[in-house]
Amino acid sequence: MTANGNGTGDILGPGIEIVAQQKLQPDAKMYGRMQRLGAFFKEQFGAEPDFFVRVPGRVNIIGEHVDYCGYSVLPMAVTQSIVLAVGSNPTELHQLQLRNLDQANFQNFQCDLKSLSVELPLPGGPAWYKYFMCGVRGIEEHLGRKKFSPIGMRIAVDGNVPLAAGLSSSSAMVSSAVLATAHVQGMKLDRKELASISAKCEQYIGTHSGGMDQAIAYLGREGCAHHIEFHPQLNGTPVILPAGKCFVVANSLAQKNKAASSDYNERVVECRLATRWLARHKNLSNWQEIIRFIDLEEACGMNNETFESFIKEKLTKWVYTRADICQEWGITEQELESKYLTANTQHMQQFKLRQRALHVIQESGRVVKFRKICEQLALHASEEDIKQLGLLMRQSHESLRELYECSHPDVERLIAISEKQNVSARVTGAGWGGCIVAMCDSQEDAAKYINALKRDYYAQLPPHLLERHQPNDFNEVVFATFPGNGAELFVP
């Protein structure tokens, strides 16, 4: 394998059109990772891997907590990624063997694919390999049990996407498993199909997430963000970010493992309840089946403004109780639990339908505006337009903090420092900790901003955050980021 030789380092994917179409070479960094991971693979399994898969994490620039309501988002792939080295398993034909390069933190895993039908979520909390198994299960389901051959795989994993930080390490893992398994099964899938399968199967972890992360993991392209739409079908439009602008990611270091908490699903449940509540007020006979705001908007021919007014008119309370909902719909609490709540939200007593609905509708409007302004800016620079972008990011954050209640005190400290530096920033990903994304006017400004964050945040870390983080230069937790490519498959 060479970094730039002809043929030997080519990306090919017999059966995977997506990769066969773009004949990329691994860049020097990727080449280095492949070398290290290949050596680890050999040490673990005594053979060379057959191919490598790389799937990036992502940063969402705007459009938070709207994907599962059907609305569009505007993320970009980051350079941090999960890399897999994959080989067949000639001795134990049906065994899947997983090894993580970070042996200290991630235990080995092995299972028999023949007796698979992976029952997910696997018991005992969200261990790393379960995300991988979601991907295998996704392909198994897509093919159907009859066509799925339980071909054993040996896999070595190297990930450098920060964990539980809102940069989508989980989806990078699930999507890499989907791509690797699809390739081993000899399937022909395009990027959108792979993204849809990955989005669907990540739900086996127990989170009722939307499809943003998996979509950008496959559709990402160097140099541009993407406007990803989910309705009426998955579609990605490249968006050129304003010339000169530099996006910075800063990790609060407050970790949030969504799968281990019910916060995320609580929001999903509230959105679904709010949708049905409103659909019922529109006298739609199938109101119980309408669970995404976008479907309601379409069914009633509303637009962003009329939808917002409708919410304000029909969802007047700040807090809805179980009794409020049961009375309005003529159902019992048991019915509420069994039909309308998810497995991990059975305990919910209160529902902030108005606030959640307003956030989603207003945020979805901001995404559309953000894209439009970027397109205008590509034609001619305007100070006013740039200001608008910053404003949209700030409004997004405020809404996530106030209406969606998914910020975190450590995230707020980062936001306050950003405000002081006159930089527009917002929490990115699901929130409750994790990262912020900030827009700086130039690379020089970004460098200054990063220094300010290092001085005012990272140099002052409270003990509970320092424990997990040896003080170093913090370059891995606060960095300028540039849009990278989506998933790739390399055959040495």
Given the rule CB under 6 A, which residues bind ligand NG1?
64-65, 67-68, 166, 168, 170-171, 202, 207, 209-210, 212-213, 258, 429-430
Q: How far is the CB of 465 from ligand NG1 (least distance, A)?
A: 19
Residue 202 binds which of Mg ion, ligand NG1, none (CB < 5-8 A, kind-dependent): ligand NG1
Q: Which is nearer to ligand NG1, 213 or 297 (by Cβ)?
A: 213
Which of Mg ion, ligand NG1, none has residue 64 at its interface (CB below 5 to 8 Å by kind)? ligand NG1
Closest CA to 400 of 423, 426, 420, 425: 426
Does 170 contact Mg ion by CB under 5 A?
A: yes
Which of ligand NG1, Mg ion, none is residue 488 near (CB under 5 to 8 Å by kind)?
none
Q: Which does 159 bind (CB under 5 to 8 A by kind): ligand NG1, Mg ion, none?
A: none
226 close to 175: Cβ distance less than 8 angstroms: no
Give the nearer residue to ligand NG1 in terms of CB position, either 202 or 410.
202
Residues with catalytic roles: 213
Task: Report the partner that residue 83 touches, choosing among ligand NG1, Mg ion, none (CB closer than 5 to 8 A by kind).
Answer: none
Q: C-beta of 434: minimal distance to ligand NG1 in Å?
A: 7
Total of residues contacting Mg ion (CB under 5 A): 2
Query: Which of Mg ion, ligand NG1, none interacts with 80 (beta carbon under 5 to 8 A by kind)?
Result: none
Cβ-based nearer residue to ligand NG1, 56 or 166: 166
Closest separation in Å from C-beta 68 to ligand NG1: 6
Is residue 449 within 8 Å of residue 440, measured between CB atoms?
yes
Q: Let me know how many helices (H) and strands (E) the chain has, helices first.
A: 16, 14
Nearer to Mg ion, 185 or 207 (CB): 207
**Least distance CB 171 / Mg ion (angstroms):** 5
The distance of closest approach from Cβ of residue 259 to Mg ion in the complex, given in angstroms and rounded to an integer, is: 8
Nearest distance in Å: CB 78, Mg ion: 13
Contacts of 327 (CB under 8 A, 6+ apart): none
Interface segment toward Mg ion; rule CB under 5 A; list 170-178, 280-288, 382-390, 484-492? 170-178
Unique residue bearing structure tokens 């659909």: 279
Q: Could you give the angle at which helices 353-379 and 263-281 cross, rounded to 10 degrees?
A: 100
Rg for the chain (alpha carbons), in Å? 23
CB of 429 to ligand NG1, least distance (A): 3
**Binding partner at 97 among Mg ion, ligand NG1, none, C-beta below 5 to 8 Å by kind:** none
Of the two residues 26 and 210, which places its CB atom closer to ligand NG1 in the complex?
210
Q: Select from 72-80, 165-173, 289-297, 400-408 the region that touches Mg ion (CB under 5 A).
A: 165-173
The item of Mg ion, ligand NG1, none sharing an interface with residue 181, based on CB under 5 to 8 Å by kind, is none
Q: Please report the beta strands in 51-174, taking only residues with DSSP state E, as ranges in sequence order.
A: 51-62, 74-88, 95-100, 109-112, 153-159
Q: Which is nearer to ligand NG1, 310 or 404 (CB)?
A: 404
Burial annotation 60-71 (CB, 10 A radius, 16+ → b, else e)? bbbbbbbbbbbb
CB-based closest residue to ligand NG1: 429
Spell out the long-range contacts of 7-12 with Cβ–Cβ below 8 A and sequence spacing 24 or more.
8/492, 9/490, 9/492, 10/490, 10/491, 11/488, 11/489, 11/490, 11/491, 12/489, 12/491
Do the beta carbons of residue 432 and residue 256 sit within 8 Å?
yes
Closer by beta carbon to ligand NG1, 182 or else 212: 212
d(Cα 71, Cα 453) in Å, to the nearest integer? 32
Contact 33, 1 (CB under 8 A): no
Determine if 198 is a binding residue for Mg ion (CB under 5 A).
Answer: no
89 binds Mg ion (CB under 5 A): no
Pairing between strand 478-481 and 95-100?
unpaired
For residues 48 and 87, the answer to whether their CB atoms sit within 8 Å is yes
Q: List helix spans (H) across 203-253.
A: 212-219
Nearer to Mg ion, 79 or 428 (CB): 428
Give min distance, CB of 200 to ligand NG1, in A.
11
* Lookup: tokens for 85: 């080295």
Residue 146, C-beta contacts closer than 8 angstroms, at least 6 positions apart: none
Q: Are 74 and 63 in contact (CB under 8 A)?
A: yes
Q: For residue 338, give both structure tokens.
A: 């069994």
Q: Which residues of the chain form contacts with Mg ion (CB under 5 A)? A: 168, 170
